[in-house]
Chains A and B, each alone.
Chain A
Amino acid sequence: MLAPLSWLKDYVEIDVSPEELERKLFSAGFEVEELIETGRDIRGVVVGRVLSADPIPDTHISVCKVDCGEKGVLQICCGADNVRPGGKYPVALEGAQVYATARDHVTVEGLMTIKKGKLRGELSEGMLCSGVELGLSEELYPGAGYVGLLVLPEDAVPGEDVKPLLGLDEAIFDIAVTANRPDCQGMIGVAREVAAVLNKPFRLPALDYTENGEEIDFSVEVEAPDLCPRYLGHYVSDVKIAPSPAWMQRRLKLVGINAISNVVDITNYVLKEFGQPMHAFDLADLRERKIVVRRAKPGEEIVTLDEKTFALNPENLVICDGVRPVALAGIMGGLNSEIKESTCGVVFEAAKFARDNVRHTARALGQNSDSSARFEKGVDEWSTEMGMKRALHLIEELGCGRVSKTAARFAADPSRVEPRPLKVSLGRIDGILGVDVPREEILKSLSALSFAPEIDGDTLSLLVPAYREDIDDHAQDIAEEVVRSWGYEHLVPRFLDSAQVTPGGLNAGQKKLLKLKNTLAKAGFYESIFYSFFSPKDLDMMHFAPDAPERKAIRIKNPISEDLSLMRTTLLPSMLNAVVRNLRRGNTEGRFFESANIFLADKLPLESYPEEHAMLSAAAFGDGETFFTMKSAPEAVAKAFGVRFTYEKTEKPFLHPGMTAKILLDGEEVGFLGKLSYEVAGELAVEKPVFLLEMDAAKLLGKLTDELVYRPVPRYPTEKRDLALVTPEETTAEAVRSAIASSSKYLTRVELFDVYRSAAIGEGKKSMAFNLVFTPDDHEFTAEEIDKIVEKILRKLSHTLGIELR
């Protein structure tokens, strides 16, 4: 919301600096995002009176003597065709800063600093300026559009700064208006807040007019009062379409609107002043001289002012004459009834349209305007009434028509323009804010906001202005109004004095997850966080089969791009993409994990909440990594939680067929790990080994108890034996280990420490060396006892697995 300071001064006396006002508005909840100074780039330009202008023969240049008041008389060379002795023009002195223009003298090409120099051998001590060189346009200052010198008024005083004279000292506040304050989407609303923060009276602009125009038969019918609770139509006769006055053009330009013609400019002026969108119809085009507000018929068409054709449906509200749509309600007028040079009768429209309907239609048709943007934020009916009055006043003030008595109106609830009585408890306000607010502060702040406060005991009686539709019937709203005026700095912080003590902290599941993450970090894996969505291409990258469950992903209806369109069904593609990204950036090794949810839908499209399932993924890449360094990740987890995972060969479409294992806990699969297949690695141009892991964190954490039970330290010393066993090549370490482990109750540890192959052992065979630890229970073991147990183990191994001691 752009608010020029000079415009605000129409409604309230402002006697503080723009910066001071910015601070005060900020404290009241209106953040000034930018304080724009119109002439911020212009420096050192003063009024000059040309005393003489002598042309240099055979050139277009004149040597001028210019009276610059106290700056003295300067010699300036000038090529403009409108320089004449006695004329007053802006003079950029030596060191001044103005805009540089291209050869066309119109296009701005950055800034320039004025230096003394010689032109055609003549000294030039400054520059006479055009409007464009000062950043002006015809709308901002009459005559500034001329390609030549900007002519200053007769009464301009030589030597004085031109900025105040040309409105180049204007401060424009770009205010962020919060969504609850649509009433501040116009100058009037902002001025009311300015008046409140400065504690100055607020005055409305002139709203009076005389009804002396031609009277005609004219009617308004609203068939959809739910979508149009108020509609005003007023006829203006004897219209003379012409440009609007300079002051109006300038103001509109300052807030970003180009002038068109007096009638159209009035509608835009009222939009910016009162925040009330208006429309003007050419009476000549209104068939049957009536307005009907109704839902569009299926397939009904309208061509809007910008010559776009829309096919409508009953969800769209249209303004019709007796026969056809003449405007898309609240969005844009129809081409068939627009204001033309020839227009001599105008029907002004001021209305309130339901914000959701305008929003819906504007979105559905892709047709937005200043008007629709305004309606979507919410327009109040008080402004609708005031806006019409103001428009009619301006017609008279600008002398561009005669206001008639002919007016028609509809109001679903006529009282919506009256202040609303409200009673709230002062005790409640104190309770919400946590301090006893001085009563005079309550009166002061609410009076400044025109709430007409009165206090009787604990009761605060108010009259809520009709434009404050954000005020609900409760103390919270009023507390907010009071504190933003009074100031939050008056509150006294305290630390939950009245709150009850509650037990806090992580629950058991959250603690386990945190421990899982910490364990992986300690094992050298950095935590990653990736987006919860991925690309359909990611599923292809992983070579998932067409009917793979991973492909049953929930789709975002309005994704930012196709690459971010599916909710993840596996964490691995994001992880693999990160690995590839790292390698491409020259990071040749790394380890990562991610703990996040995947999204599993029973049915697509969604009919109920999908399952959000906690998963864990990890990757290790680089020359030093092997299947077994990757395996250190699950093993670290097993160690941290005191469990043992087992591993079995398995296959995955994206992993190496010989280097992939599923991870089991108590016989149940909880995940898998493996090396990225050569096929996928090739497609991704990955040359370093990459290992991936994915685990079902929900299932895993459900099985991990993290309970620790102490076992007494054995009374008798443990005994150790090493066994080197020769097995067929295909026998797995786990098969041997579990066979050993289950063969004696005294075995408390069985660990592989070496695998060895040699010619002596034989082709197709290998030797695996295990470290065995025996823990006695009631007496010290003798060597003979251990020998006996070992013999038993060897017999079992020989019998079940055909294994011999080496």
Chain B
Amino acid sequence: MATPEEKLSFAAAPGSVRERLLAIREEVEKKIGTYESSKSLYEFRKVILDNRKGRIAELMQIIREVPKEDRPAVGKFINELKEWATVRFQETDERIRKQELLKKNAAEDIDVTLPAEETKFAALHPDTLVINELIDVFAGMGFEIYEGREIENDYYNFTALNTPKDHPARDMQDTFYLSEEFLLRTQTSAGQIHVMEAKKPPIKVLSPGKVFRSDDDATHSPMFTQMEGLVVDRGISVCDLQGMLDTFSEKIFGKGVKTRLRPSYFPFTEPSVEVDVSCFACGGKGCKLCKGTGWIEVLGAGIVNRHVLENCGIDPEEYSGFAFGMGVERIAMLKYGINNIKALFESDTRFASQFRD
């Protein structure tokens, strides 16, 4: 780009005009480097370049004083000066703005390692986190969610579940009684009966809920949470149960986790099984978590006892089903490594604040 000087040709302008043009030019040259703020530069620019009151605009007045034949040339000289000044101001302004921004940025420099402003953002209870995760897994398999009552009667909690009054299995669970008939449910299985009475197969239901047993020591809480699942349809077998549990275990405990069934006993299922998952901490080699066995007991399950189906008016010759139940706290404790069941019901801020969705 040509320098303004090279372009300026008003040295050839008539004497007085030339002097005035040079005077403006010199003033700009002399002062423009002294400005440090874009705001004061702008003020100076107005003095020189304001369209009405600027020094260059004023210069246009003298056009009238020069002879008519010189006027186009003088006009051209003035325009040249204007263009030159405009460019000078623009360049200077850019330079100043750049410096200003540098200063501003430098002034606003911060310690990025200072703590963030805290958003008070809490979390759901670990039991709820586990329940939500389970619901997510089972909802995808077509399970509805049914939450039964915490206060049940003897029939739904025991008798209908193939556990009549004198049955020794009642000793497996120490029951809180509210009256001869009413009690705090000892198992979410009570909900199975309500579901099967209200709904005919195909049934796929998941029932999370609080259950109660008169047991209060280091490893037992008088209230805890169970998650019960029930499937009733045609041709349901133990193989279906295990297939579903395999899927469940992989989704909850991680890929590659396997299940193992072993015989057990519950009054309302037959065959009944305890279900172990291969230890997700050591991969089945044996560690502290699995007590060296490579397996962790997570739930009980089985094929629904035909008497239970009959009690609900479902024909056991046509339909069969499986049920499974697990302790939500147990899963939560395994999953998060919580070592004390009581901590789940104390709401200590130092406990609660460790969880997140």
Within 8 Å of chain A (Cβ to Cβ): is B243?
Answer: yes
Q: Are A432 and B320 in contact (CB under 8 A)?
A: yes
Residues of chain B with a CB closer than 8 A to A640's CB: none
- Number of A-B residue pairs with CB-CB distance less than 8 Å in the complex they form: 261
Q: What's the nearest-Cβ distance from chain B to residue A361, in Å?
A: 12
Considering the complex, give the chain B residue whose CB is closest to the CB of A624.
B120
Chain A residues bordering chain B, tally (CB within 8 A):
92
Encoded as 1 (CB less than 8 Å from any A CB) or 0, chain B from 238 to 277 comes to: 1110111111000000000001111111010011110000
**Segment of A116-124, A555-563, A748-756 engaged in the interface with chain B:** A555-563
Q: Is A209 an interface residue, CB under 8 A from the partner?
A: no
Residue of A with least CB distance to B167: A179
Nearest CB on A from B228, distance (A): 15
Q: Contact between A432 and B303 (Cβ–Cβ < 8 Å)? A: yes
How many angstroms from the CA of A493 to the CA of B352 in the assembled complex?
38
- Chain B window 306-339, contacts with chain A (Cβ cutoff 8 Å), 1 for yes, 0 for no: 1100000000000010000000000000000000
The answer to whether A558 and B352 touch (CB under 8 A), given A432-B320, A494-B243, A564-B222, is no
Kindly state the separation between the CA atoms of A612 and B178 in the bound complex, as whole angstroms: 14
B135 at interface, CB cutoff 8 A: yes
The answer to whether A528 and B125 have CB atoms under 8 Å apart is yes
Measured between C-beta atoms, what is the minimum distance from B269 to chain A in Å? 9
Residue B231 at the chain A interface, CB threshold 8 Å: yes
The complex places the Cα of A488 from the Cα of B295 at a distance, in Å, of: 15
The residue that A376 contacts in the complex, of B171, B265, B320, with Cβ under 8 A, is B171
A497 touches B142 (CB 8 A): no
Given A477-B270, A484-B271, A493-B243: A502 and B120 within 8 A (CB)? no
Contact of B120 (CB < 8 Å), options: A181, A524, A554, A609 = A524
Q: Determine, out of B18-26, B71-79, B97-105, B149-157, the stretch whose residues face the partner at the interface.
A: B149-157
The answer to whether A526 touches B169 (Cβ under 8 A) is no
Contacts of B84 in A (CB 8 A): none
A760 CB–B CB distance under 8 Å = no
Digitize A363-397: 1 where CB-to-B-CB distance is under 8 Å, 0 elsewhere: 00000000000001110000000000000000000
Are B352 and A526 in touch, CB under 8 angstroms?
yes
**Contact assessment for B353 and A526 in the assembled complex, using a CB-CB cutoff below 8 Å:** yes
Q: Does residue B12 face the partner (Cβ distance < 8 Å to A)?
A: no
Q: Looking at the complex, which of B1-9, B36-44, B179-187 is the stretch in contact with chain A?
A: B179-187
With contact pairs A499-B240, A530-B347 given, residues A355 and B124 touching in the complex (Cβ less than 8 Å): no
Q: Does A65 interact with chain B (Cβ within 8 Å)? A: no
B144 contacts the other chain (CB 8 A): yes
Q: A337: CB under 8 A from chain B?
A: no
Least CB distance, B136 to chain A, in whole angstroms? 9
Q: Are B305 and A476 in contact (CB under 8 A)?
A: yes
Contact partner, B344, options A432, A529, A559, Cβ 8 Å? A529
| Assembled-state Cα–Cα distance A6/B75 (Å) | 128
Beta-carbon contact of B272 and A525 below 8 Å: no
Query: How distant is A201 from chain B, measured CB to nearest CB, in Å?
Result: 23
Residues of chain A in range 483-522 having any CB-CB distance to chain B below 8 Å: 483-484, 488-489, 491-507, 510, 514, 517-518, 520-522
**Are A504 and B139 interface neighbours, CB within 8 A?**
yes
Stretch of B55-63, B85-93, B208-216 at the chain-chain interface: B208-216
| Contact A480 B122, beta carbon cutoff 8 Å | no
Q: How far is the CB of B6 from chain A (nearest CB, A)?
A: 52
CB neighbours (8 Å) of A504 from chain B are: 138-144, 204
Is there an interface contact between B263 and A28, defined as CB atoms closer than 8 Å? yes
Contact between A558 and B176 (Cβ–Cβ < 8 Å)? Answer: yes
The answer to whether A480 and B272 touch across the interface, beta carbons within 8 angstroms, is yes
- Residue of B142, B233, B246, B345 near A529 (CB, 8 A) is B345
Task: Tell me the nearest residue of chain A to B138, going by C-beta.
Answer: A504
Check A434 against B168 for contact (C-beta < 8 Å): no
Tell me whether B222 and A612 are in contact (CB under 8 A).
no
Are A526 and B123 CB-contacts (below 8 A) given A182-B168, A609-B149? yes
Q: Which chain B residue lies CB-closest to A360?
A: B166
A520–B270 alpha-carbon span in the complex (Å) = 43
Stretch from A12-20, A587-595, A663-671 at the B interface: A587-595
- Chain B min CB distance to A179 (Å): 4
Residues on B with C-beta less than 8 A from A612 are 149-151
Q: Is the CB of A494 within 8 A of B239?
A: yes
Segment at the B interface, from A541-549, A577-585, A648-656: A577-585
Q: How far is the CA of A434 from the CA of B145 in the complex (A)?
A: 27
Interface string of A419-439 (1 = CB under 8 A from B): 000000000000111110000
- Is the C-beta of A339 less than 8 angstroms from some C-beta in chain B? no
Give the complex CA separation of A591 and B118 in angstroms: 14
User: Closest Cβ of chain A: how far from B202's Cβ, in Å?
Assistant: 4
The answer to the question of A659 belonging to the interface, with a C-beta cut-off of 8 Å to chain B, is: no
Indicate whether B69 reaches chain A with its CB closer than 8 angstroms.
no
Contact B181 A483 (CB under 8 A): no
Known: A27-B262, A491-B261, A493-B243. A556 touches B178 (CB 8 A): yes
Query: Known: A504-B143, A554-B178. Is A528-B169 also a contact (CB below 8 A)?
Result: no
Given contacts A517-B124, A560-B222, contact A505 B145 (CB under 8 A): yes
A599 contact set on B, CB distance < 8 A = 150-151
- A496 touching B141 by the CB < 8 A rule? yes
Residue of A nearest to B274 (CB): A31
Query: Which of A474, A483, A530, A591 makes the CB contact (< 8 A) with B306?
Result: A474
Asked if B238 contacts A491 (CB within 8 A), the reply is yes
> A179-B171, A529-B345 in contact; A507/B124 too (CB < 8 A)?
no
- Expressed in whole angstroms, the minimum distance between the Cβ of A29 and any Cβ of chain B is 3
Report the separation of the CA atoms of residues A531 and B341 in the bound assembly, to the nearest whole angstrom: 13
Are B168's CB and A493's CB within 8 A? Answer: no
Cβ of B134 within 8 Å of any chain A Cβ, yes or no, is no
A479 adjacent to chain B (CB < 8 Å): yes
CB atoms of A518 and B124 under 8 A apart: yes
- Tell me whether B238 and A432 are in contact (CB under 8 A): yes
Q: Which of B143, B153, B272, B350 contacts A587 (CB 8 A)?
A: B350
Enumerate A609-649 residues with CB–CB distance to B below 8 Å: 609-610, 612
Q: Tell me, yes or no, whether B340 is within 8 Å of chain A by CB.
A: no
Known: A504-B139, A505-B144, A599-B151. A521 touches B204 (CB 8 A): no
Do residues B122 and A582 form an inter-chain contact, with CB atoms below 8 A? no
Q: Shortest beta-carbon distance, A25 to chain B, in Å?
A: 10
Residue of B at shortest CB range from A629?
B120
Contact A521 B176 (CB under 8 A): no
A180 at interface by CB-CB < 8 Å: yes
Alpha-carbon distance between A499 and B239 when the two chains are bound, in angstroms: 12
- Distance, CA A22 to CA B33, complexed state (A): 97
Closest to B271 in A: A480
A620 nearest in chain B by CB position: B120
Flag if B168 contacts A355 (CB, 8 Å). Answer: yes
Nearest CB of chain A from residue B44's CB, rounded to whole Å: 38
Given known A178-B264, A529-B127, A582-B349, contact A355–B171 (CB-CB < 8 A): no
Assess whether A767 is interfacial by the CB under 8 Å rule. no
Nearest first, the 3 A-B pairs at minimum CB distance are A356-B166, A434-B237, A524-B120
Name 8 interchain pairs, CB-CB below 8 A, sorted by A: A476-B303, A484-B271, A493-B246, A493-B259, A496-B240, A529-B125, A529-B225, A606-B179
Residues of A within 8 A of B (CB): 26-29, 178-182, 354-356, 359, 376-378, 431-435, 472, 474, 476-477, 479-480, 483-484, 488-489, 491-507, 510, 514, 517-518, 520-533, 554-560, 564, 567, 578, 581-582, 585, 587, 589-592, 597, 599, 605-607, 609-610, 612
Given A527-B125, A557-B176, 19 more pairs with CB closer than 8 A: A179-B172, A179-B265, A432-B271, A434-B239, A434-B240, A484-B263, A491-B239, A494-B240, A496-B244, A504-B141, A505-B135, A505-B144, A521-B357, A533-B223, A558-B214, A581-B348, A587-B349, A589-B349, A610-B182
